[in-house]
Amino acid sequence: MTHLKNVSGYLPDENPPLGKLILFALQQIVVMFPATVIVALLTGFHISTTLFASGFATLCFIIVTKGQIPLYYGSSFAYLSAIVSVTGFKYAAGSVATSPDEMIRIAQFGIVMSGFVSIIAGVIINRFGKDTIDKILPPTVTGSIAMIIGLTLAENAILDAAPFIEGLNNNPDTQLVWIVSLVTLFSTIFFSVYIKRGVLSQIPILLGLTAGYITAFIVQQVTGITFFHFDIVQGAIVQMPHFTLPKVSWPALFAIMPIAIATIPESTAHIYQLDIYVNQLSKKKKTGKIYKIKEKLGLNLIGDGLGDIVSGMIGGPAGTNYGENISTMAISKNFSIAVLLAAAVITMIISFFTPLINLIYSIPKPVIGGLEIYLFGVIAAQGIAIFMDRKVNMFDSKNLAVIAVILIVGLGGNSAFGGMIPFFGLQMPTIATAAILGIGLNILLSIGHKKEKDTSTDISS
């Protein structure tokens, strides 16, 4: 019995005492906060609304999954280029920089409809099993889409990090702006690589952002370059989030909806991770319970899709369940659904506090640029990770054909046409076009296709 008392942690259906519950909830918020608000900054969505949508979507996810899956919903970077292609938004620090309501409403329609992609995938898995989805969306498709999502954002990242400030671009001192973006980039990488334990290991983005923010302040004091020109305490202390309703737009649907395809492998990986972590803890605590979380993949995708619908209906970006929060739960051995419910409610409350929102809007553009270089690169690298994890045969001509078409149409369309490919009088969003072509080509080439053997030779022999 003494041994059992020393096994710390909370299973999904266990509740910590009130004090610990609030502390654990705040920890979950700190982990999801940086990525969620940065998505809002880069898409021009209202930060207060984005935070509220994150909490509200998490509540809805927990309700629809009947408290069986401990996950937190946050904004997804995967949708950035698609949303920006619809809104035309360019991030500019130092003011409440948001897209016009009309453009946000149009993007909302695409986001809401993307939720149905996840829901349909979840229903198919529940009815026919995961193999059916794998045939339609093999790793050659999902991995390639993940790669182009990250790589098509490369130009945005470099431009945001570059030493240019309007009105001062001919001043040699502006070259020092590079210091801000590079300190942000390398400090974020440092925290990601070298801090392996504790809460700090889960917030490298927040730590890197803080380092860049402080660096920008120092450079401003030394050179006179103005990075901060926004009053954090302006406006009312408490203010209602800015809610908007979707507006039907078929171009927005075509641009945004297919991106949901790329989030399915991520959600799948998260469910399998959770299953391992939770059942390991249950075994250590000798509860005798087996939590069949991996069998709830379909239910998870349905909940994820509902999160997109809920978020999109009130003016929030598209999202997904967060790996950062899963890692935090694994480290703290705290998988309590009650903690996630508390985190969702507290996040919704935070969204009403104007000074915090203003502080986020004050983040200098080079700081955001430094973060983007790392974050967008990681998105692209996840595509390679999907290939490796699923052991994609890169010597199979069918696989090469699907990957080649997706990559070149996606990247070429973005660089040559700015994200919209002209096609018989239509403007075709590059990522969506690449995804649809890849899916169609994979289905077509699967007819009568037999997998080719790996004929590579070992050059070391």
Task: Say how far residue 9 (Cα) sits from the centre of its chain.
Answer: 27
How many domains would you assign to the chain? 1
**pLDDT at residue number 331:** 72
Which residue's entry shows tokens 């979840």? 122
The answer to whether position 372 is within a domain reads yes
Which domain range does residue 259 map to?
12-394
The answer to whether position 90 is within a domain reads yes
The answer to whether position 454 is within a domain reads no
Q: How many CB atoms lie within 10 A of CB 394?
A: 12
Half-sphere exposure (Cβ direction) of 228: Cα atoms closer than 13 Å: 17
**pLDDT at residue number 159:** 84
Q: Give dist(CA 52, CA 37) in Å, integer.
A: 11
Secondary structure (3-state) at 257: helix
- pLDDT tens per residue across all 461 residues of the chain: 444 456 678 899 988 888 888 888 887 887 788 888 888 988 889 999 999 999 999 999 999 999 999 999 988 888 888 898 888 877 665 555 688 899 999 999 999 999 999 999 999 999 988 888 888 888 899 889 888 888 988 888 888 888 655 544 555 556 778 899 999 999 999 988 888 776 677 678 888 889 999 999 998 888 877 787 666 666 678 889 999 999 999 989 988 988 888 788 778 778 887 888 898 889 888 888 888 888 898 999 999 999 999 999 999 999 988 877 887 788 778 899 999 999 999 999 999 988 888 887 788 888 888 988 988 888 788 788 889 888 899 999 999 999 999 999 999 988 898 778 888 887 788 888 888 899 999 999 988 776 655 444 333 33
**Total-model pTM:** 0.77
**pLDDT at residue number 455:** 44
The answer to whether position 166 is within a domain reads yes
The answer to whether position 341 is within a domain reads yes
Q: Give dist(CA 209, CA 220) in Å, integer.
A: 16
The answer to whether position 129 is within a domain reads yes
The answer to whether position 324 is within a domain reads yes
Which residue's entry shows tokens 């019995």? 1
**pLDDT at residue number 232:** 62
The answer to whether position 417 is within a domain reads no
Where are any strands of DSSP class E within 364-446? 420-423, 426-429
Secondary structure (3-state) at 247: coil
